[in-house]
Amino acid sequence: MAKVYFMNDRSSSIQTSLVAKMLTLFDAADFGRMVHPGDVVAIKLHMGEFNNTAYLRPVYVRALVEKIKSLGGDPMVVDTTTLPYWPFASRATALDYLNTVARNGFTHAALGCPIVIADGYIGTDDVKIDLPEGFILKEQYIGTGIALADAMIALTHFKGHPMGTYGGALKNIGVGCASKRGKLNLHLGGHPKYGLNTRHWMGYRCEKENCPQYEVCLNLCPAGAIVHTEKTVEFHREKCIGCLACVGVVTMCGVAFLPDDYFDATAAAIADSALAAVKAVGGPEKVGFINMALDISPWCDCVNFSDRPIIPNLGLFASWDPVALDSACIQKAKESAGMPDSLAMAKGVMTPGSPKFTACGSFLGISEEIQPNVGQKIGLGTRSFELEEVAVPEDATPFLCTQIPAGLKLGKLFAKTKDLFPAGGFKREEEVDIEDMRLP
């Protein structure tokens, strides 16, 4: 049974702020024991797609950076390039990625440490990890910048996900630590049963004259697998690498269907890839996990919008075991009531006890249990957990921006600034009718 540390999301003082609670959980889990002076510590983070707004705020990362520095570590914030995933990718190269996340507020200046795109400019800088224990993947490719780190903290925004059904610690490292070829692998490009290359294709359904996406579709596939002719649109299966640039176009217009069990198999592959990431860094004693179950949107931070949360905030969770950690968050989400007028209401999962992400995260109602079940099966962790609620520290000192009281800091400045408070006071009414202002 794995230990999962928990604090709720309510705040009424500086030591109950969410930033302070994140740092308190870091200490409660004893993540500091893996940080030694001079160690390079990767903070694995999703910094948000272009125009997404649900991603974790930079202040959490800055506080974690300062914590690691206080332990003698040399922190870097890491992520990897993406597949296209859709026609207008904003993080598919390192250049695009850094431009996008700078717009989202993530810069060296804001975070206090470098942002490293761990798989290089286009995503080919990686190391191969053998996975004989993998459920579906028997090898995986992890970004070199992550694999060479001495330790890693996975700081995760827990929420829904259109392919993994939910996005937690397993997804953060399973997808987020994989290089571009690693993502092609876990999204099953070229797989003889589950790959997009096997899908049923009906080019005759293409209505060029009436399709608002037709101009986009002409330049849709970076591998040249989709070719428009005068009469139809052809699919060259042997060229398809499974980059997913086309899914939101040819699937939605009815020209193609996804293979049976595609999403199920992808969710399983995410867990396999997460094990590869842990192995790459150096094993379970080198990776700690924090899940921030806040602003729980139905879909991931990798889409370019953010819908209303489907459930209220659950709180903050930390563990050395990502399977137990995600299992605890899934259980808490099931126990929660849905958010009024959210997708949870539209999908009919407002009552406690209903699986929220199966209904709201997935396109097709795919089980939210696949990732953690596969994670347990392959030995990445256990679904059995003990939830330990961590007490709020009595001492607020570690969380103060300064330990110099206002009297000492400002008293001498007020004394020098003679005209700060005008002689005789400010011009104001001595008394007003407040009661009248209370009326509707």
Structure confidence by residue, pLDDT tens digits, 305-320: 999 999 999 999 999 9
pLDDT in tens, 319-373: 999 999 999 999 999 999 999 999 999 999 999 999 999 999 998 999 999 999 9
Give CA–CA dist 216/163, Å, rounded.
23
Pairing of strands 165-167, 159-161: antiparallel
pLDDT number for residue 406: 94
Tell me the whole-structure pTM to 2 decimals.
Answer: 0.96
Q: What's the pLDDT tens digit per position in 262-295?
A: 999 999 999 999 999 999 999 999 999 999 999 9
Measured between alpha carbons, how far is 44 from 14 in angstroms, rounded to an integer? 26
**Each residue of 11-24: pLDDT tens digit?**
999 999 999 999 99
Report the percent of the chain where pLDDT is more than 70: 100
pLDDT band at 403 (very low <50, low <70, confident <90, very high): very high
> Quick check: helix, strand or coil at residue 139?
strand
Task: State the architecture of 2-189+261-389 in CATH terms.
Answer: 3-Layer(aba) Sandwich (3.40)
What pLDDT is recorded for position 422? 87
Residue type, 79: D
Q: pLDDT confidence of 381, banded at 50, 70, 90?
A: very high
Stretch among 18-32, 131-145, 188-202, 410-424 having the lowest mean pLDDT: 410-424
Contacts 24+ apart (CB under 8 A), 102-111: 103/50, 104/47, 104/48, 104/52, 104/55, 105/57, 105/58, 106/47, 106/48, 106/58, 106/61, 106/77, 110/58, 110/62, 111/58, 111/61, 111/62, 111/65, 111/77
Instruction: Name the residue among 68, 60, 64, 4 with its Cα closest to residue 32.
Output: 68
Instruction: State how far the alpha carbon of 43 is from the alpha carbons of 122, 174, 295, in Å.
Output: 21, 14, 21
Q: Residue 359: enclosing H or E segment and its boundaries? A: helix 356-360
pLDDT (0 to 100) of residue 348: 98
Q: At what angle do helices 18-28 and 58-70 cross, to 10 degrees?
A: 40
pLDDT per residue as tens digits for the range 405-419: 999 999 999 999 888
Q: What is the pLDDT of residue 419?
A: 83
What is the pLDDT, as a whole number, of residue 143? 98
The pLDDT of residue 12: 97
Q: Which residues pair with 115 in a beta bridge?
A: 77
Domain ranges of the chain: 2-189+261-389, 196-251, 407-437
The helix or strand, by DSSP H or E, that contains position 324, with its residue range, turns out to be helix 322-335
Does 231 score more than 90 pLDDT?
no
* pLDDT band per the 50, 70, 90 thresholds, residue 99: very high
- 423: pLDDT strictly greater than 90: no
pLDDT at 59 over 90: yes
Write down the mean pLDDT value for the chain.
Answer: 96
Mean pLDDT of 130-136: 98
CATH architecture of 196-251: 2-Layer Sandwich (3.30)
Residue 167's pLDDT is: 98
Task: Give the span between the Cα atoms of 382 and 395, in whole angstroms.
Answer: 34
Mean pLDDT of 32-44: 98
Which token pair is 343? Answer: 């997708």
**pLDDT recorded at residue 277:** 98
- What is the average per-residue pLDDT within 164-175? 98
* Collapsed DSSP state (helix, strand, coil) of residue 98: helix
Comparing C-alpha atoms, which of 360, 424, 418, 175 is closest to residue 275?
175
C-beta separation of 197 from 190 below 8 A: yes
Residue 432 tokens, joined: 């007003």
Query: Is 1 a residue whose pLDDT tops 90?
Result: yes
Query: Strand, helix or coil at 235?
Result: strand
Of the candidate ranges 198-202, 204-208, 303-307, the one whose mean pLDDT is the lowest: 204-208
| CA 159 – CA 420 distance, rounded (Å) | 49
The alpha carbon torsion through 49, 50, 55, 61 (nearest 10 deg) reads 90
Of 123-132, 247-256, 384-393, the least confident: 247-256
